[in-house]
Amino acid sequence: MIAVNYRVIYGDTDCGGVMYYGTYLRLFEIGRTEFLRAKGLSYREIEEKRGIILPVVEVWAKYRASAKYDDLLTIKTYLKEAKSYKITFFYEIYRSEELLAEGETSHVAISKEGKILRIPKDILDLLSL
C-alpha cells in the first residue's frame, strides 16, 4: 500500500459544499501514479519509452462521507490484481481515521495503435513487490 496526501481545493468542490463525485477519479489517478513511482515505475516512461498505454477499462467508487474544502486527505492505493491481461488497483480516501470513499480501477495494456498487449512480466513483477 502506498499513501499520498491531497489538499482539497475550491476547484475540486461543488455547490453542494463538498468534493464533486467526479473529482475522486482524479485522486485515484494520483494514487496509482504514485504507487507505480514507489515501485520504481514511471507511468510517463512506460508510455514514452515502451509505447505501452494502460487505459482504465472499469471503475467503481462508493462514497461514505463527504470531503470538504481544505480537508487534508490521504489516498491509499493497493494492488488488487496483476495478471498478464489486467491490472486492478483498489483505493481508499481517508480524512484522518475516517474512510470517506473507496474504489477500484482496472486497466489493460494497449499499444499506441490501440492493439491489446500482454502486460510485460517485469512490470507485473515490480508491481507485486
Interface residues toward its own copies, by CB under 8 A: 7, 9-11, 13-18, 20-23, 25-26, 29-30, 33, 42-44, 53, 55-63, 66, 68-70, 105
User: Residue holding cell 470513499?
Assistant: 101
- Indicate the residue among 17 and 40 with the shorter CB distance to its own copies: 17
Residue 57 sits at φ, ψ, to 5 deg, of -105, -15
Q: Which amino acid is at 104?
A: E
Q: Which residues contact 113 (CB under 8 A, 6 or more apart)?
A: none
For the CB of residue 19, give the shortest distance to its own copies in the complex, in Å. Answer: 9
Residue number with CB closer to its own copies (117 or 121): 117
Closest separation in Å from C-beta 10 to its own copies = 5
Rounded to a whole number of angstroms, the distance between the first and last alpha carbons of the chain is: 11
